[in-house]
Each structure stands twice: as structure tokens, then as C-alpha cells.
């Protein structure tokens, strides 16, 4: 069926299509996708609004659902069948099979890099984190955390590591330098937000805990 025989009518209430229609012009595809799946709303308006969100907590709360919504989207496309025949049929496909989400995911990750790690870990549940890691990958802070040998010290978790890093300490070597230049009293004042900081300080200053330097 040639494109000229397209039996489509766009009215005030939407689009009416004959069941026999299998070939579409690009302008009809654009209109169909616009009304059928809110393509513009999902991939442009809502996406831009998400990136422009200034509140970090709100951004994190909306992020996973935005990824799910994008991945769930389908669209109508023209597919040449058979190949090189210049005859096109209508196909209904998932958007991520039609075009790449990579650029959008990179922009999402760049915005997420501005979210403090502690806030991210507090808000994000395991399911959302797994989805985010699969699609966006790790944040810059998570990469730093993964490489830090401070996490090898018993009792030092993500929160304690963040506090160490806020004070310029990102490795056991950095911590050793701090110990050599500051007394125990200063440790207690500086790292009172570190988990079990008094016990950890006693172990380090007494030599019971030897740091990897």
C-alpha cells in the first residue's frame, strides 16, 4: 500500500486510523507518537525538568521512576521490509531499541554527581540503586569510595568515609599523615561523627591498629 493511501484522519479528539493501514508518513508518525505515548513529554519536557531540579532529595526521589518511565516507552516507527525495497511497514517498538539513551543517562549521572553521597545512600533503596547502577553507573563519589582503602578498616562505612574525605583524608596513608601531625584530643574533636571514633582513635594512637601506608 503506498503512502498516499494512508487512511488517517486527525481530529480534535485525537487520531482515527483504519485497521488496514500499515504505512505511515513521518509527520503522521510524529503526531501518532505525540498523542499515543506522550513522547515529547517524557523525553523532553519531563526530562529537562528533572535535570533542572535544584533540590537534591527531590531529584533522587524522582530519578529511578524517570528511568523506569523512559525504559517503558514504546513508539511507532517505519521499518523497511524487505530491506532495500523502499517499502515501509509500521512497527511498534520500545524506544530504547529505536534510539540510544546514553546521552540522557550521562546527563542524569552528571546531575547526580552533585548530590552528597550520604544523602544518596539515605534516600535510595536497593531496587532503585540496582536500576540506577545498571543504567547510569556509579557516581564520582562512589568510584572514589570503591577505591579507598579506608573501607578496609573495621567499622568504617560510607558515612565515616565521607567525613574523612570532607577533612582531606581519602586513604589510610592520608590518615597516617594526620595521626603523625595531630594529637588524640584533636582527633576526638575532628572525627566525632565517625562511627565509634573513640575506639578507633584509641586503636590507631596506641598502635593496636596498623594502617596500610
Residue 104 has pLDDT above 70, yes or no: yes
Nearest to 60 by CA among 100, 116, 106: 116
What's the mean pLDDT in 7-26? 40
Q: What are residue 17's phi and psi, to 5 degrees? A: -125, 135
CA atoms within 13 A on the CB side of 103: 6
Assign 94 a pLDDT band (cuts: 50, 70, 90).
very high
> Is-contact 191 164, C-beta < 8 A?
yes
Contact by Cβ (8 Å): 27, 6: no
User: Alpha-carbon distance 165 to 49, whole Å?
Assistant: 31
Q: According to the model, what pLDDT value does residue 27 have? A: 72
pLDDT 10s digits, 158-183:
889 888 988 889 889 999 999 999 99
27 dihedral zone (left: phi>0; alpha: psi -120 to 50; beta): alpha
Q: Of 91-105, 140-154, 181-195, where does mean pLDDT reach its minimum?
A: 140-154
Please state the domain extents for the chain. Answer: 3-138, 148-206
For residue 147, the model assigns a pLDDT of 66
| Residue 22 binned pLDDT confidence (cut-offs 50, 70, 90) | very low
Report the distance separating Cα 53 and Cα 56, nearest Å: 7
Is 80 exceeded by the pLDDT of residue 24?
no
pLDDT at residue 145, as a whole number: 61
> Is the pTM here over 0.85, yes or no?
no
The band of 26, judged by pLDDT with boundaries at 50, 70 and 90, is: low
pLDDT of 40 higher than 60: yes
Q: Give pLDDT tens digits for 68-77.
A: 999 999 998 8
CA count, 13 A, side-chain hemisphere, 3: 11
The stretch 200-205 carries a mean pLDDT of 95
Q: Which residues contact 197 (CB under 8 A, 6 or more apart)?
A: 187, 188, 191
Amino acid at each position: 500500500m503506498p503512502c498516499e493511501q494512508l487512511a488517517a484522519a486527525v481530529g480534535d479528539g485525537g487520531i482515527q486510523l483504519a485497521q488496514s493501514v500499515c504505512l505511515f508518513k513521518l509527520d503522521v508518525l510524529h503526531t501518532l507518537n505525540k498523542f499515543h505515548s506522550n513522547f515529547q513529554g517524557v523525553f523532553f519536557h519531563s526530562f529537562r525538568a528533572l535535570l533542572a531540579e535544584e533540590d537534591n532529595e527531590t531529584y533522587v526521589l524522582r530519578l529511578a521512576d524517570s528511568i523506569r518511565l523512559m525504559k517503558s516507552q514504546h513508539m511507532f516507527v517505519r521499518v523497511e521490509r524487505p530491506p532495500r525495497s523502499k517499502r515501509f511497514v509500521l512497527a511498534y517498538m520500545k524506544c530504547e531499541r529505536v534510539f540510544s539513551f546514553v546521552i540522557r543517562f550521562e546527563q542524569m549521572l552528571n546531575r547526580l554527581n552533585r548530590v552528597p553521597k550520604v544523602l544518596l545512600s539515605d534516600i535510595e533503596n536497593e531496587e532503585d540503586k540496582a536500576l540506577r547502577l545498571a543504567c547510569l553507573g556509579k557516581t564520582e563519589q562512589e568510584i572514589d569510595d570503591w577505591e579507598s582503602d579506608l573501607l578496609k578498616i573495621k567499622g568504617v562505612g560510607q558515612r565515616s568515609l565521607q567525613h574523612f574525605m570532607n577533612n582531606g583524608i581519602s586513604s589510610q596513608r592520608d590518615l597516617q599523615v594526620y595521626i603523625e601531625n595531630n594529637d588524640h584530643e584533636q582527633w576526638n574533636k575532628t572525627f566525632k561523627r565517625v562511627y565509634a571514633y573513640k575506639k578507633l582513635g584509641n586503636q590507631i594512637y596506641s598502635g593496636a591498629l596498623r594502617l596500610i601506608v
